[in-house]
Chain A
Amino acid sequence: MARRDYLLGKFGIALLTLLFVLLLDFILFRVLPGDPIRAVIGRNVRISAEVQQSLREQFGLDKPVFPDQFVDTLGQWAQGNLGVSWSQRKPVSEILISKLWNTLLLIGLGQLLSIVLGAILGLLAGWKRKTPFDVGALTFSLIAWATPTFWLGIILLVAGSTWFGLPTGGIVSPENVGKPLHTVIPDLARHLILPTLTFTILYLGEYMLIMRSSILEVLSEDYILTARAKGMSHFQVLTKHGLKNAMLPMVTIIALNLGFTVSGAIYIETVFSYDGLGNLVQTALVKQDYPLLQGAFLLLAVSVIIANVLADFLYTYLDPRVKAN
């Protein structure tokens, strides 16, 4: 398949998904009971009738919903204007951006660890197929699959704080806020241990399974036999040929998994009161802060869509079968 066609197809899906997400967010915002003006400025802010009318005109609420208001709203969103949070009385986009980095840090660390460990363990399990190690690794991934994320978080929280004295929540201890970096960073690291561990345990199993089955597939190829015949050792074959080819399905799974990663962040940040987007979503849910909730959904969905496109792009570089025209 030509690379261009492949990418065009993927872009098409991404655009379709983006349109769906935008439309859904717009509709959800509209079906909320009450005046949309209230939704924008907050429920309990007093304003006069004239101000309300001028706001209606300013927001284009006197125009038909489709297509005028939808297009207007898209324009607003494109400029980063996602409305005002009801509970915090601040622009939604400002709140989202302040939490974004914390979540990226947690997800990034968790993904990195689970991918690296999953790849190594999966490689070993596939290589040592049907040994106790393999069966043990598979049992682990099966149980990790069936475990509720938040519950594992709760258990690790109890175990980590009781036995290792690790902090149970937050990102930095209150007494260290505003201190120089060399005090803050070790404290931050201590706070990150438990959430990252939860993340890693949960996602490790799946990466391990994928790596294991793709290494098994690769090892049955003829070029592996050729490499062995050339006199390469088992280890050389595994690292030189096996790993390289087996990484391909991993890239696809990592991209497909981004959605689940976001779910994981919501549960884990909630359990560990970690100050990121996931915790924000949960708070917005409890406080019924709809502008914040919908803004967060928009940001998360759009990020996942973009990341998927990037992964597809990367894939065409990694897989010569797609690259070759």
Chain B
Amino acid sequence: MSENGNLFLRNLAGFWKTFRQNKLGLAGGFLVLVAVLVAVFAPALTDYDPSDIIRDANNRALTFAPPEVHGILGTDDAGHDVWSQLVFGSRISLVVGFMAGFIAMFVGSALGIAAGYFGGAIDSLIMRITDVLLVIPDLPLMLVLVATIRQMELKISPLAVLIVVIGLLYWTSTARLIRSQTLTIKERQFVARARAIGAGHWHIIRKHILPQLMPLIVANTVLILSTAILIESGLAFLGLGDPTKPSWGTMLNFAFDRSAISNGAWWFYLPPGIAILWVSLGCILLGNVLEEMLNPRLAAHHLEGEAGMIAIADVESKG
């Protein structure tokens, strides 16, 4: 451990040295970090519970109160504090997005390695599955799946259904990326040597291939997170969230359905959208910069300096 651990720390230090020069990467990291901190310290950031009903002097619920009248972001149609909903909503949005993203990362990496390493029939099978998933329109597929699973009354929480469905549909791009990288690593000398001295498949994958892939997997996961968070918000907006645990998407669903727009309650429908944009933009910036730094295929590019945004576009169009 100690030798490997030191090597890891030295790599990390070197990585940080390059990374901190990259303004876009730092900006992305900042956006994501703030969102995570808000989610972790949610209770400390607000005096109200999201389910508290704010009342006026006559003990009537204070509905659609603008920020000048109550709190930081006013109240919603039922008199709940919007700021505390937003702060606690970050927990739901991030947890669902992160867990779905991790499932996608895990499935995509496992299938990508299997396809690239074993080749042949396994490879064709996995690649055909990704081809099929790529063509089917994703939102209608998810709506039908989530709605049907709910109707089956399986006693699974609605959020768990969302996590699993998003996670099991968004692994295809990861699988393709990891597969192509595995193909090149497989041909390297150290793998051939390990095989020559009789190492098993599992050993080679775990000890020789996975460590080489790890940086790429990390970068790709950050990108997948932005997709997962956007998709979660969309499904929640269409009414598939958990109304008892409102995420930012669920808040927008409430705002839209309960006439926040006709009441001019911008403090109800603007902040959740900005929060979603904040996190997904952060993940996109961070993920692209990490991929740029860690993906050997893109090693020729340099993100430093004024060309940062341009390099990101170049990564995007290759991805």
A308 — which chain B residues lie within 8 A by C-beta? 135
Check if B165 is an interface residue, CB within 8 A of chain A: no
Within the assembled complex, what's the spacing in Å between the Cα atoms of A294 and B143? 10
Docked pose: A158 CA to B273 CA in angstroms: 14
Contacts of A210 in B (CB 8 A): 317
B284 at the interface (CB under 8 A from A): yes
CB contacts (< 8 Å) of B135 on chain A: these are 13-14, 17, 259, 304-305, 308
Taken residue by residue from 151 to 165, chain B's Cβ proximity to chain A (1 for < 8 Å, 0 otherwise) reads as 111000000000000
Q: Do A138 and B313 touch across chains, with their CB atoms under 8 A apart?
A: yes
A81 CB to nearest B CB, Å: 19
- Once A135-B310, A271-B256 are accepted as A-B contacts, the answer to whether A290 and B148 lie under 8 Å apart by CB is yes
Cβ-defined contact, A20 with B313, below 8 A: no
- The answer to whether B140 touches A151, judged by C-beta atoms less than 8 angstroms apart, is no
Q: Does any Cβ of A come within 8 Å of B192's Cβ?
A: no
CA distance A21 to B226 in the complex (A): 27
- Residues in A76-107 with C-beta less than 8 Å from chain B: none
**Judging by beta carbons under 8 Å apart, are A297 and B276 in contact?**
no
Q: Interface segment, B61-69, B78-86, B111-119, B230-238? A: B230-238
Within B241-288, which residues are at the interface with A (CB < 8 Å)? 249, 252, 256, 261, 266, 269-270, 272-273, 276-277, 280-281, 284-285
Candidates A143, A154, A286; contact of B239 at CB < 8 Å: A286
A259 lies within 8 A of B137 (CB): yes
Q: In the complex, what's the smallest C-beta–C-beta distance from A48 to chain B, in angstroms?
A: 27
Task: Flag whether B136 is at the interface (Cβ < 8 A).
Answer: yes
Nearest A-chain residue to B142, judged by Cβ: A263
B317 pairs with A288, CB closer than 8 A: no
B139 near A: Cβ within 8 Å?
A: yes
Q: Contacts A138-B310, A266-B139: A148 and B233 contacting too (C-beta < 8 A)?
A: yes
Set of chain B residues within 8 Å of A297, measured between Cβ atoms: 140-141, 143-144
Whether the pair B152, A148 counts as a contact (CB closer than 8 A) is: no
Question: A191 within 8 Å of B by Cβ?
Answer: no
B119-155 vs A, Cβ < 8 Å mask (1 yes, 0 no): 0000000001001101111111101110110011100
- Residues of B contacting A139 with CB < 8 Å? 309
Task: Answer whether residue B73 sits at the interface, using C-beta atoms and an 8 A cutoff.
Answer: no
- Residues from chain B with a CB closer than 8 A to the CB of A13 are 128, 131-132, 135
Check B240 for interface membership: any CB of A closer than 8 A. Answer: yes
Least distance between B240 CB and chain A CB atoms (Å):
7
Question: Which residues of chain B have C-beta atoms less than 8 A from A25's C-beta?
Answer: 144
Given the complex, which residues of B lie within 8 Å of A271, measured CB to CB?
256
Per-residue CB contact flags for chain B residues 296-308 toward chain A (1 = under 8 Å, else 0) read 0000000000110
> Do the beta carbons of A148 and B234 come within 8 Å of each other?
yes
Residue A324 at the chain B interface, CB threshold 8 Å: no
CB contact between B152 and one of A20, A31, A135, A157 (< 8 Å): that residue = A31
B residues with CB within 8 A of A = 128, 131-132, 134-141, 143-145, 147-148, 151-153, 226, 230, 233-234, 237-240, 249, 252, 256, 261, 266, 269-270, 272-273, 276-277, 280-281, 284-285, 306-307, 309-310, 312-314, 316-318
Selected A-B contacts with CB under 8 Å, 24 pairs: A13-B131, A16-B132, A17-B136, A20-B136, A28-B148, A129-B310, A135-B310, A141-B313, A145-B284, A146-B280, A151-B237, A209-B317, A212-B313, A259-B137, A259-B138, A266-B139, A266-B238, A270-B237, A285-B143, A285-B238, A297-B143, A297-B144, A300-B137, A305-B136
Closest 9 pairs (CB-CB, A-B): A151-B273, A263-B139, A213-B317, A259-B137, A146-B281, A262-B137, A146-B280, A297-B144, A17-B132
